[in-house]
Structure 1
């Protein structure tokens, strides 16, 4: 190969590249659908077969189109999937997230290569090493290692509460979020994207929020919106009526969350996530430091992702930088200026690392 190991791929005819990306996107979407279906209704041989089929197709297309350095990433992911299928390793939500992230990362890497953007070849080696490590895990440490690879700690349960209940409830929150994502108002994996951004902001702030409580709030704050009529999401209509519907949705969510006292901090974040920094929000017109810091993060991310990742009315979707610009314009009124600066830092770091959070 020449100094540019991807020049053969970049030299492909435009029609071939278009066909290639259409096939890859079909593989990617199907894998995503199967993983989310497993999380919602459980494992089945048919779903594993479908994932394998599309991973094979993904890998074959990479090979045919001269993207050989990316092939080992998918190959080792297949090997782990095979061990899970054969019951040598347990399937868990963190592994599902890892599958989605790996496929998404490879896809974004390909997009960068096709645009002749500079790419870091070391990242490919790092991905392969991560997958090799997981491939060699035992059933006892597999879930913990998956959590580490996803950049999360395992959910910590308050020992004053029933340890047997909380992990299942947390998984239920994640499942609810996936179901709400599928309503069609947002792109696939909306809640995962928001969760990653929230964790990154929390880390930048030296973790003022418990990560697990923050994730529960991210997953559940839109729960009540599942009961709002679909036409509500059209921007037209009476503002007062819309606010009443949103308040009703929030009340529905809080009634559910109040059933679980161990998630009190998450519940508080949810209750306050529509408050504005200047006191003009609702339901209680809180302002400044009276608003939970987790609520402030969720408010910013809700605004950002609603502008950049809404499925409907795509002509109204904003670019990354126009959305970031609007977030900054609203600091001091809707948003806490300090949290906006943290959001800016997370965006800057993601751009620098060619992260996939904004795809």
Structure 2
């Protein structure tokens, strides 16, 4: 039996040296991204709209960015090539063809297999990785003038000709009755909420990042862990609201508004049930209170509103307005968000916190 040459395997020491919890978290995110690609392919094959093209690109781009962050250079380079192949469909959604979707499913399956092999053995098949890389490079050249079913069929055949069947593997997996750490479970609940609407993609992650930055800039008026729990859980109660209300685009009736407002109570009660998160529960309960006392559920005024809730209120409004939509660009909506927040100091928002938040967003703009 021949021993493989070093060149036939690749490894990522930086990634493998990370804490197991980080690796596990990365694997979960990878599976979510690949599952999202599968959902979008199925929808597009059933004449789904261009929003699924956008969702698929976001998932693949997130996966590529995650690989870069944890030091998975070989997989990051591979995903960059796959993203380049997909970019034409993103620029011209009307050119999408089922063969492209089948190729993407096969490609993401191979990436999952390479990742599993790397984690299990400390190294993975470089021949397989390089083969997929070369196929993507060829595809990019052959689709320069438009997408062709034949080109993708050839690519699929060169990779083995079929999409990996996850169903058999899933049947053999056992779901263990385990209880994850509180913050891990809260993050999972927030992620499930964000999947209920295409306009909530990564919303909870963005909320946490911004509210942490505001908290730091303010000198930490809220406990960091309690604030993290509140950021994950502040809208989780929305998942218990009837979907016809949650996803309604027009104005809500008074009765519908009353039902929607119940999400703050539901989220805070869930936190109290966790135990040890009373401060976070108060933040969730208060995050729709207005500085002038005209908010809900209790009409709390000014500094009587929990400082964590006052920060969440600002960030929640910002994230709501800057959510990507087909009818507006990111920079324009960012300025709209800042304008609306500044226009509502003393009424809806704490003026001192708004001033600091302006600095936080200014730093964000400079980084971008």
TM-score norm. by structure 1 comes to 0.55
Select which of 163, 173, 176 maps to 2:189: 176
Matches within 5 A, 1:260-275: 260-275=274-289
1:279 matches 2:293: yes
Distance in 2 (CA, whole Å) between partners of 1:310 and 1:242 is 25
The answer to whether the 8 A contact 1:30-1:51 is kept is no
Pair 1:353–1:243, CA change in 2 (3 A): same
Instruction: Confirm or deny: 8 A CA contact 2:269 2:281 kept in the other structure.
Output: no
- The within-5 A match list for 1:293-312 is 293-309=307-323, 311=325
* 1:136-159 Cα distance to aligned partner (Å, 9 max, x none): xxxxxxxxxxxxxxxxxxxxxxxx
C-alpha displacement of 1:173: 0.6
Q: 1:29 aligns with which of 54, 59, 69?
A: 59
Q: Return the offset for 1:181.
A: 0.7
Structure 1 residue 220 displacement after superposition: 0.6
Instruction: Give 1:57's aligned residue.
Output: 82
Q: Map Cα deviations across residues 323-343 of structure 1 (whole Å, 9 max, x no partner).
A: 210100000000000111111
CA shift for structure 1 position 259: 0.8
Q: Which has the higher contact order (CA 8 A, sep 6+)?
A: 1
Identify the residue that residue 40 of structure 1 maps to in structure 2.
Answer: none
Distance 2:258 2:266 in 1: 12
Q: Which runs of 5+ in 2 are unaligned?
A: 1-51, 67-74, 88-110, 123-177
Compared CA separation, residues 220 and 308, structure 1 to 2 (3 A):
same
1:86 aligns to what? 118
| CA RMSD across the alignment | 3.9
SS of match in other structure, 2:197: coil
Task: Work out whether residues 345 and 354 of structure 2, in 8 Å CA contact, stay in contact via their aligned partners in 1.
Answer: yes
Match of 1:321 in 2: 335
Q: Distance in 2 between matches of 1:316 and 1:247?
A: 29
Paired position in structure 2 for 1:127: none
TM-aligned CA distance change 1:203 to 1:213, over 3 Å: same
Secondary structure in 1 matching 2:273: coil
Match of 1:245 in 2: 259
Paired residue total: 228
Contact persistence 2:288–2:313 (CA under 8 A): yes
What is the alpha-carbon distance in structure 1 between the residues aligned to residue 351 and residue 227 of structure 2? 20
- Report Cα offsets for 1:95-137 as digits up to 9, x if no partner: xxxxxxxxxxxxxxxxxxxxxxxxxxxxxxxxxxxxxxxxxxx
Shift of 1:25: 8.2
